[in-house]
Structure 1
Amino acid sequence: MSGNDGSADVASRLRAASEDLADARAAVEARGEARLEAVRAAYREATDLLDRYEGRATGTGDFAAFVEFQESFVELTEGLDDDLPARDAFKAANDLLDQRRLGEDDFDRAREELGPAADLVDLLADREAAREAFEAARRDARRRLRDLDARIDSLERLQRLGEADLDAPVDRLREPIEAYDEAVREAWAAFRRDASAREVFRVVAASRAYPLAAFPEVPPDLREYVESRPAGEEPIPTLLEYADYSTSKLSHYVDDPAALRTRVGTHRTYLERLDADPLVVSWPPPDAETLRYRASELVSVVARFADEGTVAAARRLRDLPDDVAYDRLRETALARDELDEAERERLERGAVEAELTAARDERERIEAALTATAE
């Protein structure tokens, strides 16, 4: 996100909103908040009377309403404190309404006479609006800071990748990772194909103790069926094949065709997707510490179903960060994978450095504005 879209000016807007709020508060304090609240209460009552009686107390309408209206307005005016700001405005409106007959234009003129009171009431509304604008400006500033932090992280990462040695021998990472991935995929495919569903589910359940090497949890009703019924001794591909049989054909293979179709058929997607993906290491690889922890967990899970060669390949990954210049080679792998021609061109001409400097400067301005306007 560039600074040309106006978002970079949030610091200035925040400072301006803070100044506006200070001015609005000062205007209220100069006249006394309690006195302005009293004016607002009186003004609301006066305008409420005008609004409620305008249609009934005008012309030759409801005489009782006319009298009631005048008495109410007189009572309101006489009940005001002598030192109430804009008291003269209420008196002028009352004097105007003290006639034998009132027209709609009299009500309009009365509202105009109350103008000075309305102006004072606006001071309270202006303060509230200024407070809302200030709070919104602070929210915008904090949101912009989050965006800038993410952008700075992205630009710093891009800059770091640009410094990577693209000629470094990344095959020292790729070969052991690809060898392990291929071995574990083959081992799991064979295990899933040949072992009973019950055995497979037990490995899945055991993997749940290793968050970095865990398979998706088996649906409870499917797990209960496989554990308790003879069909659970069949491999998963066989159960999926059974689920496609007609009821009459299936009855030759299981004692309760309906139960198999309900449990296996309902969870076909889970069974079909139960592949080796949770055990595969991505490319480019994770950071060294993550690989160490994950490979340790992979060894524990893979050892439950794979041969010693596959387990050894997992152990090789666990030791990989200590055997090679892992961080440097990983940076090269990331750079080769992520940097396209346009990004490399931006790096070469210094555009990334310029954007990073601008983003950091803007972050400093916003942080300073947030500190200066903190309440």
Structure 2
Amino acid sequence: MSDDDPVSELRTAATKLDAYREDVETVGRDELRRLATTYRDVERILDRFEERATDPDDFQGYIEFRETLTDRLESAPADIRHGEAFIQANDALTTAVTSSLSSSDFERARTLLADVRADVELLESLQDAEDAYRSKRRAVQSAKAELESRIDRLERIEELGRADIDAPISELRTPIERYNEAVTEAFERFRRESSARDVVDWLSTAELFPLVGMPSPPPRLESYLHTADVGDEPLSKLVEYTEYSRSKLDHYVDSPQEFDAAVKTNSQFLHRVDGEPLTVSWPPAPASTVRWRARELVSVVGRFASESVVSEARSVRRLVDRTDYERLREAAIAREELTDDQREKLRRGVISDELSSVRDEYEHVVSCLDAHPPLGD
């Protein structure tokens, strides 16, 4: 990996974090927190009162400043770190009644508190280092996820490369395409020639066969079509009616309002009802999936299609009984998924070399994450 990769950046962040931790622990985290509280309060007092305390005409401002600063310093622990610096800064901001403070006095006080400020900034630097560590570790975790994804893709390519690419996949494809064409035409005929009521009833029955995957009819639509005369019309006519105005629709249905509520609101569903869920995908699914789904398809398709279409479904079902089904299926998947470039790389061993390199890089990243655990809250 390059010097600016996530692993190197995490290691650098860890080194900086360790250094700041050591500096903080040398003083003591609780001691620094106590010091930081006092210093920030004093800093705010200086910022708040500087303009008034340096105004010769605002004696009251000077008095309020002195009282506020004195009260805060007196409330600080007697053994506070850099206590002498606070005393010196306070002395620099104390003047006789006949004199007034200047901006240079405030500047000198802040200078006297420089060592205090440096210690306080240790805590801020430690927090920044912890934030940077967390950020860099997340980057390494992202790199790990990306490498895992690359390994999965390369392993998949290698797996597909082991398929018998020259196997006669048409022995699977031809029966499946023949069935898909037949069932699509049969369903279009069923949808076109049957009443909407019959189609919806068939969809309700198809719910008993979940592997088929036909959409379930909306209950309100189903109930309406069972009672309304318009249920005798084909689905295509109902879809046409959904585009009519209320006044025009009044000539075709008994209650346009009921029609709109039950049918028009489900017009998208009516548009989506087609034979696509009844088809078999290519490349086909594993044998167990096709076996059980084809059985359900035979039952469902037989309720609206001719015996010839059902016979095609049975032909698909019998495909999984072939001893070479999985070999042909893997060959079909390989032909679909592998590009010419990937096949050439497989032939030359490039994929294997790349996979080995990525695995090494992955182990490198995992080792880095193991060596640099997440920070506790």
Query: For residue 43 of structure 2, what is the amino acid of its counterpart?
Result: T
Query: For residue 24 of structure 1, what is the amino acid of its counterpart?
Result: Y
- The corresponding residue for 2:16 is 20
Instruction: Report whether the alignment pairs 1:192 with 2:187.
Output: no
Inter-CA distance 187–267: structure 2 relative to 1 (3 Å threshold) = same
Aligned-partner Cα distance in 1 for 2:272–2:265: 14
Inter-CA distance 65–286: structure 2 relative to 1 (3 Å threshold) = same
Query: For residue 290 of structure 2, what is the amino acid of its counterpart?
Result: L
Aligned-partner Cα distance in 2 for 1:274–1:176: 24
Instruction: Report whether the alignment pairs 1:374 with 2:373.
Output: yes
Q: Say if 1:138 and 1:370, in contact at 8 Å, map to a contact too.
A: yes
Query: For residue 16 of structure 2, what is the amino acid of its counterpart?
Result: D
Q: Say if 1:184 and 1:306, in contact at 8 Å, map to a contact too.
A: yes
Aligned-partner Cα distance in 1 for 2:85–2:294: 82
Inter-CA distance 238–143: structure 2 relative to 1 (3 Å threshold) = same
Instruction: Report whether the alignment pairs 1:74 with 2:70.
Output: yes
Aligned-partner Cα distance in 2 for 1:207–1:5: 61
1:356-371 mapped onto 2 (5 Å cutoff): 356-371=355-370
- The corresponding residue for 2:163 is 164
Aligned-partner Cα distance in 2 for 1:112–1:351: 65
Instruction: Report whether the alignment pairs 1:40 with 2:39.
Output: no
- Cα drift, residue 66 of structure 1: 0.8
- The corresponding residue for 2:86 is 90
Instruction: Report whether the alignment pairs 1:57 with 2:58.
Output: no
The CA deviation string for residues 79-119 of structure 1, in whole angstroms up to 9 with x for no partner, is 43343222222222112111231122322332222111111
- The corresponding residue for 1:280 is 279
Q: Say if 1:53 and 1:69, in contact at 8 Å, map to a contact too.
A: yes
Query: For residue 25 of structure 1, what is the amino acid of its counterpart?
Result: R
Aligned-partner Cα distance in 1 for 2:300–2:69: 86
The CA deviation string for residues 50-84 of structure 1, in whole angstroms up to 9 with x for no partner, is 11111211131421121121232233334433432
Inter-CA distance 97–241: structure 2 relative to 1 (3 Å threshold) = closer
Inter-CA distance 64–247: structure 2 relative to 1 (3 Å threshold) = closer
- The corresponding residue for 1:254 is 253
The CA deviation string for residues 249-297 of structure 1, in whole angstroms up to 9 with x for no partner, is 7555432345435644444343233111111122222233332343344
Q: Which moved more, 1:284-293 or 1:128-137?
A: 284-293
Q: Which consecutive residues of structure 1, in runs of 5 or more, have no partner in the other structure?
A: none
The CA deviation string for residues 296-352 of structure 1, in whole angstroms up to 9 with x for no partner, is 443343233233333343343334233142222222212222222332333333332
Inter-CA distance 275–368: structure 2 relative to 1 (3 Å threshold) = same
**Matched residue of 1:363: which SS?**
helix
- The corresponding residue for 1:134 is 133
- Cα drift, residue 357 of structure 1: 1.8
1:116-155 mapped onto 2 (5 Å cutoff): 116-155=115-154
Identity %: 43
**Matched residue of 2:321: which SS?**
helix
Match of 2:6 among 10, 14, 34: 10
The root-mean-square deviation of aligned C-alpha atoms, in Å, is 2.6
- Cα drift, residue 181 of structure 1: 0.8
Q: Which consecutive residues of structure 2, in runs of 5 or more, have no partner in the other structure?
A: none
The number of residues matched between the two structures is: 371
Aligned-partner Cα distance in 1 for 2:321–2:173: 15
**Matched residue of 1:55: which SS?**
helix
Query: For residue 177 of structure 2, what is the amino acid of its counterpart?
Result: E
**Matched residue of 2:303: which SS?**
coil
Inter-CA distance 4–31: structure 2 relative to 1 (3 Å threshold) = closer
Query: For residue 69 of structure 2, what is the amino acid of its counterpart?
Result: F
Query: For residue 15 of structure 1, what is the amino acid of its counterpart?
Result: R
Query: For residue 80 of structure 2, what is the amino acid of its counterpart?
Result: L
- The corresponding residue for 2:291 is 292
Inter-CA distance 120–289: structure 2 relative to 1 (3 Å threshold) = farther
Query: For residue 314 of structure 1, what is the amino acid of its counterpart?
Result: A
Query: For residue 56 of structure 2, what is the amino acid of its counterpart?
Result: T
- The corresponding residue for 1:203 is 202
Query: For residue 129 of structure 2, what is the amino acid of its counterpart?
Result: A
Q: Say if 1:204 and 1:214, in contact at 8 Å, map to a contact too.
A: no
